[in-house]
Structure 1
Amino acid sequence: MQAYCLSRNTLARVLLLLVGCLLCWQEAIASLSISPDKSRYSLTPHTQFLHSDESLALDELLARNPPFTQAEDKRDLNFGYTPDDVWLRTRIENPTQQSRDWIVAFEYPFLDHVTLHVVREHFSEQMTSGSAVPKSQRALAHRQPVFPLTLAPGETVTLYAQVSAAGSKMLNVNLLSEQAFYTQNDRHNFWLATYFGMLLALGLYNVMLFFGLKERVFLYYSLFALGFTVAILTFNGIGTLMFWSILGDNTARLVAIGFTFASTMGTLFAQSFLNTQHFTPRWHRLLSYFRGYCIVALLATLILPIQPALRLMDITGFVAALLMLICGVYCVSQRVPSARLFVLAWSLFLVGACVFALRNLGILPANFITLHGIQIGSALEMLLLSFALAARFNKLKHQKERAQAEMLMTLKRQEAVLEQKVADRTRALEHLASRDVLTGLLNRNGLTDCAKKALRRSQRTGQPVALFMLDLDRFKPVNDQFGHEAGDFVLQQVARRIGHLARAHDHAARFGGDEFILLIEGIDDLNTLNDIRHRLSAAIRAPIKLPCDERVSVDVSIGMSVSHADGKSLECLMREADGQMYDEKARQTDSSARYGSAPS
């Protein structure tokens, strides 16, 4: 009996030891140690999650100390439609001896409210973001929930993220350096702008075709594109960021309305495009019944609670896509004109949607194609449907009288005008991609392109290139005393003064924060460059009248470097100018201290 009790106690101790080891192991894998050599991390394998059926504050959560579950892969953080709040917990260590700035970015933009608590050793901070949060209240004005995170040398922080959303909760999170984040953001914004520009062009094109030909199929297609565009704009966060952030918690309802309306108009378009009333009367009746259901569902999305409205949207969209695909396949078997192209278009859209869903489930890796599968599929679908509509138009053209030739020429001219608008829009987007939004000067990308061209010209012609780096002093007190809007106004005035002093072929850029760069070609006289430096300094130091009628002044430290066709790169010029600028800043500080004034 004693031996039995002894073995049982020994087994219990071993089990407790294994449980303790397992808990320690879970805690270890929940911690991420950052490296200065890496600019992007997936936080999924270092994240633990918890469902909460009530809305808790952080102190209440910590007081209860509920057990969190460790996420193994991205599928563990896909919670679908759940009414519960979801808490995520991640611990991040900075073992280096340098302070590092990072961005915590949620991949999925369609999350209503995301609150991030950063728990540090002696204090904690709270930030909010999400598609239902007004832009002015977000931690960063961005289409996705993103948050800035600064890690001091040797610091360890614990992140608690509370997510509340009526839609599907896909909570994959990444940690990116600021440079990696903004590089990725510029690339994604370019392609999204191109995508929505194409949708706009196709919609306008078919509206004009409707007014020109009086064929309703073009109107149905335009309305289908309109509903889809509004829904996908809201879903991607661009709509709430730029147009309708005032919707708040009704943002998700707009997605349900947009996609349900697109299903309704897509069904009507399929009936008209395939001419089901003539070729397949039974399918025409079935699609008419379904279209009646879509109208009822559209009305229901206006009055139902948001989460049931979104579920109804999913069911309606899935059934609509499936019905139209099956109807298209049947029409192919009946040799209905353009049915093959219709089936191919809808198949591409469904493939894109499946790729997007499989990426969200973690089955496919996250890359440009899988992240934007639904946009790529819908873009190809709408292009093919546009080609099919064009083919149908050409067939009608050959069946009608010679008078339609003139109408065709008019439509071609309209098409050329629209193509020119698309080209102009593309050039405008490329221009915006190289410009700083606040000041209108070049941004880093624009400066890099201009500098490369200038240095190549310098190598070819032997003409020097000079670079001035300007850093504003006493700018922070303006922000602190008068607010960030006043600070932005000061930056705009400084940028305007720098641009006024620059010649037509010089390049002025805002490098970041309160730093500016002026790139000058064709001047190698040191006296002339010093004169430019003095004029810049005098212009910037001149008082600035704020909109509130207060006058403020800022100081500036200027560094200069020159490339005499000696093969220097932009980075080399900036290092030299940066060193000289900080030497001047140090001299100004010493001078201020010598005369008893506080350093700027």
Structure 2
Amino acid sequence: MQLKRLTAGINTGLLLLLAVFYIPCVQANTLLSASPSQASYSLAPYTEFWHEDEQPVTLNDLLSQPRRFEQAQQAEDLNFGYTPHDVWLRTQVHNDSPEAQRWIVQFEYPFLDYVTLYTLRLQDSDVQQSGSAVPVDQRTLAHRQAAFPLELAPHETVTLYTHVAAPGSKMLSYHLIAPEAFYAQNDRHNFWLATYFGMLLALGLYNLLLFLGLKERVFLHYTLFVAGFGVAILSFNGIGTLMFWSFLGENTARLVALGFTFASATGTLFAQSFLNTKAYCPRWHLLLNTFRSYCWLAVIAMLFLPIPLALHLMDVTGFMAALLLLLCGSHCSLRRVPSARLFVLAWSLFLLGVGVFALRNLGILPANFITLHGIQIGSALEMLLLSFALASRFNELKRQKEQAQTAMVAALKKQEALLEQKVAARTEALEQLANSDVLTGLLNRHGLKRCAESALQRNRQHGNRLALLMLDLDRFKPINDSYGHEAGDFVLQKVAKRIVHLARTGDHCARFGGDEFIILMENIEPGDSLAATDSLKTIVARIDQAIRSPIKLPCGARVSVSVSIGVSTCQGAEDATLESLLREADSHMYAVKSHQAAACYRYGSASS
């Protein structure tokens, strides 16, 4: 039994070791080999992305002054939420067939103002444009989503640069899809969208006729709610700009914000009428009156606010409206208000859709089919249930509604737990980012300062010896000049790994800036009382030898750097600080560097 466990442990360790070496190779792969045997490819695993600075950047700028793109792994990595800057995507596509192929590059999220696709070939390049703010006659393909045809010659490889500008949420999941599959998928989506909007139109007209016949305002309030919501969803899904108001351009986003905020106001008014809150729940009635006044002010503000702020206000207002009405309905249900339980069920489904919609726009939830269409699914179910409730508002379905309410409460609790986990993970990630160097993963100056303060405090308390090693790479600049900054970054990463490998457990390794590194070591005994492998002199020699070992660049060339190492120590000194240790180590390091330069000069003179 012990032998089997040992064998299983060894196999697990080997698999983990292979994974460590395999993952970087996968991450560096940005070339998609497209075969006609497969109808669709997700481009996310083959895409690199870069966020534009405040100054606009053209493709020529990117080609002449390359930026540091980051590698995406999956579609969620391309969900950037409300980022204020434009985004560039880069990927390569190779035709894996001896025959010419025709593909379509399709973005899944329809609410993107401007999407420009640059196709770079060996001989020429072309530019295509689409997006919700682009007039239909100026789009490459007249489609509700950004879609671009891509022609590939036999065994041709092209580089795709995509520039995306949008004031709203940037969910940039996109695919490479064969034309037959694209149009078949388009037919399916159009069928469901037509069904959805046909249902909205029928519900609106049906309740309008009921209002005209029965003169009850609750039906008019519901009709206004459906109208505002329908206009917003039409614009958001790209159907409105494709068929009705393409001339609005960038103001399509403002129409979405207006529609959803108007729906929040009229939805609140409908809830007050439907639940008769004035009679059954006077306090809730006053609260909803106040909130409705805020919604009307928000509608007016949508006309003047910058579009990004209007979209943020839309998300907040919609989420608050759905949550308030759910709480009000739950309270009315406990008070046994007629039809309140059916209202709670319907509005819970709508709240779930609105919540998914808002959280996905903010970049908290990933972009997938459920989050992309959650608001449509939730609103469709909600409107159907409310229509049934309006037609038979005195019927009670106790058991089914209680089960639905319990399930919704559990779903809300689960969602709250997931949000708490995400907040904790983000907090940890931000703390790691604040203390770590992005390139090497070592401590940055801030992280080194924090570790040094704790180490010096322990040094004063226990009197153990503390050492600081300052490492400055020599012959590093020629590598940058000859092979480029990417090669220089690769060398710095390799050197950082070697330093971490040679450091002892508990040592603090940091990148101090440029090609300078710091190792902070605690519990160093004076003199040569330690074993030879742990003495400072031995550690310095091992580090020097390891860093001098040749490094193979991704291009295949081999380079090597040397290092000048300065050492400073202290033992229980009350006035010792990180700055004093750095100054002493810096002085020793420059003495070593001068000595090495003099030795090289004497050697060169002797050779001459």
Cα 1:285–1:155 change in 2 (3 A) is same
User: SS of 2:393's equivalent?
Assistant: helix
Q: Given residue 240 of structure 2, which amino acid in structure 1 is its aligned partner?
A: G
After TM superposition, the score normalised by the length of structure 2 is 0.59
Contact kept? 2:225, 2:266, Cα under 8 Å: yes
Residue aligning to 2:51: 51
**For 1:408-447, what aligned pairs fall within 5 Å after superposition?**
none
In the other structure, the counterpart of 1:117 is: 118
Determine if contact 1:26/1:70 at 8 Å carries over to the other structure: no
Residues 91/24 of structure 1: CA separation in 2 closer, same or farther (3 Å cut)? farther
Question: CA contact under 8 A between 2:79 and 2:367: conserved in structure 1?
Answer: no
Matched, 1:42 2:50: no
Mapped pair 1:332 → 2:316:
no
Is 1:32 matched with 2:32? yes
Which amino acid counterpart does residue 40 of structure 2 have in structure 1? Answer: R
What's 1:442 paired with? none
Displacement after TM superposition at 1:392 (Å): 2.6
Runs ≥4 in structure 1, deviation > 6 angstroms?
21-24, 357-365
Task: Check conservation: 2:103, 2:179, Cα contact below 8 A.
Answer: yes
Q: CA offset at residue 282 of structure 1?
A: 0.2
Q: Which residue of 2 aligns with 1:185?
A: 186
Structure 2 residue aligned with 1:314: 315
Distance 1:314 1:272 in 2: 24
Q: Match of 1:241?
A: 242
- The 2-side partners of 1:235 and 1:162 are apart by 20
Q: 1:81 — aligned with what?
A: 82
Structure 2 Cα separation of the partners of residues 152 and 363 of structure 1: 39
Q: Map of 1:93-492 to 2, 5 A cutoff?
A: 93-354=94-355, 366-367=368-369, 371-392=372-393
Provide the C-alpha distance between the structure 2 equivalents of 1:378 and 1:299, rounded to a whole number of angstroms: 24
List runs of 5+ in structure 2 lacking aligned partners. 1-20, 397-608
Measured after TM superposition, the shift of residue 215 of structure 1 is: 0.4
Alpha-carbon deviation of 1:130?
0.2
- For the 8 Å contact 2:319–2:355, the answer to whether it is kept is no
Using the alignment, how far apart are the partners of 1:155 and 1:299 within structure 2? 53
- Note the C-alpha offset of 1:110: 0.1
Q: Structure 1 residues 144, 56: closer, same or farther in 2, change over 3 A?
A: same
Cα separation, partners in 2 of 1:181 and 1:44, compared to 1, 3 Å: same
2-side partners of 1:356 and 1:255: how far apart? 13
Contact 1:85/1:164, CA 8 A, preserved across alignment: yes
Contact 1:359-1:366 at 8 Å conserved across structures? no
| CA distance in structure 2 between the aligned counterparts of 1:76 and 1:315, rounded to whole angstroms | 24
* Deviations, residues 541-571 of structure 1 (Å, cap 9, x unaligned): xxxxxxxxxxxxxxxxxxxxxxxxxxxxxxx
1:508-552 deviations in Å (ceiling 9; x for gaps): xxxxxxxxxxxxxxxxxxxxxxxxxxxxxxxxxxxxxxxxxxxxx
1:354 is displaced (CA, Å) by 5.0
- Give the Cα separation in 1 of the matches to 2:316 and 2:360: 20
The alpha-carbon deviation at position 353 of structure 1 amounts to 4.1
1:479 match: none
Cα distance per residue 1:262-297 (max 9 Å; x no partner): 000000001110000000000000000000000110
Contact 2:109 2:372 (C-alpha < 8 Å) held by counterparts: no
Taking the aligned partners of 1:393 and 1:130, their CA distance within structure 2 comes to 47
SS at match of 1:41: strand
> Which residue of structure 2 aligns with residue 437 of structure 1?
none
1:195-252 deviation line (CA, Å, top 9, x unaligned): 1001000000000000111100000000000000000000000000000000011110
The residue identity in structure 2 corresponding to 1:237 is G
Superposition deviation, residue 23 in structure 1? 12
Return the alpha-carbon distance in structure 2 between the equivalents of residues 366 and 51 of structure 1: 22
* Secondary structure, counterpart of 1:166 in structure 2: coil
**1:129 Cα offset (Å):** 0.2
Which residue matches 2:422?
none
Q: 1:26–1:125: structure 2 CA closer, same or farther, 3 Å change rule?
A: farther
Distance 1:364 1:66, change over 3 A: closer
Opposite residue 34 of structure 1, the aligned amino acid is A
Tell me if the contact between 1:118 and 1:125 (Cα under 8 Å) persists in the aligned partners.
Answer: yes
Alpha carbons 1:355, 1:364 under 8 Å: kept: no
Amino acid in the other structure paired with 1:321? A
2: distance between equivalents of 1:267 and 1:366?
30
Q: Matched residues, percent identical?
A: 65
Q: Who wins on radius of gyration, i.e. which is larger?
A: 2
Matched residues in 2 for 1:341 and 1:186: separation? Answer: 34
| Cα distance in 2, alignment partners of residues 25 and 268 from structure 1 | 57
1:442-484, Cα deviation, whole Å (9 max, x unpaired): xxxxxxxxxxxxxxxxxxxxxxxxxxxxxxxxxxxxxxxxxxx
> SS where residue 381 of structure 2 aligns?
helix
In structure 2, give the amino acid aligned to 1:29: N
Alpha-carbon distance in 1 for matches of 2:346, 2:250? 34
Query: Matches of 2:232 and 2:343 in 1, distance apart?
Result: 22
Contact 1:73 1:362 survives alignment (8 Å): no
- The residue identity in structure 2 corresponding to 1:333 is L
Whole-angstrom distance in 1 between the partners of 2:160 and 2:243: 29
Q: 1:24 to 1:319 in 2, by over 3 A?
A: closer
- Distance in 2, matches of 1:243 and 1:36, equals 36
What amino acid is the match of 1:25?
Answer: C
- Aligned partners of 2:366, 2:58: CA distance in 1, in Å? 35
Quote how far apart the aligned CAs of 1:109 are.
0.2
Unaligned runs of 5+ in 1: 1-20, 396-600
Matches of 1:277 and 1:207 in 2, distance apart? 23
Per-residue CA deviations over 1:367-414 (Å, capped at 9, x if unaligned) read 5x554322121111000000110113889xxxxxxxxxxxxxxxxxxx
Q: 1:56 to 1:176 in 2, by over 3 A?
A: same
How far does residue 358 in structure 1 lie from its aligned partner after superposition?
Answer: 7.8
Aligned 8 A contact 2:338 2:394 in 1? no
Question: CA offsets, 1:409-448, max 9 Å, x none?
Answer: xxxxxxxxxxxxxxxxxxxxxxxxxxxxxxxxxxxxxxxx
In structure 2, C-alpha distance between the alignment counterparts of 1:364 and 1:163, rounded to whole Å: 19
| Structure 1 residue 350 displacement after superposition | 2.5
The CA RMSD measured in Å over matched residues stands at: 2.1
Q: 1:365 Cα shift?
A: 8.5
Is the contact made by 2:261 and 2:318 (CA closer than 8 Å) also made in structure 1? yes
Distance 1:204 1:393 in 2: 22
Figure out how many residues of one structure are paired with residues of the other and give that number. Answer: 374
By how many angstroms is 1:351 displaced?
Answer: 2.8
Q: Distance in 2 between matches of 1:362 and 1:320?
A: 20
Specify the code of the residue in structure 1 equivalent to 2:42: S
Q: State the Cα distance separating 1:72 from its structure 2 match.
A: 1.6
Give me the TM-score of the superposition, normalised by structure 1: 0.60
Between 26-35 and 112-121, the greater mean CA deviation after superposition? 26-35
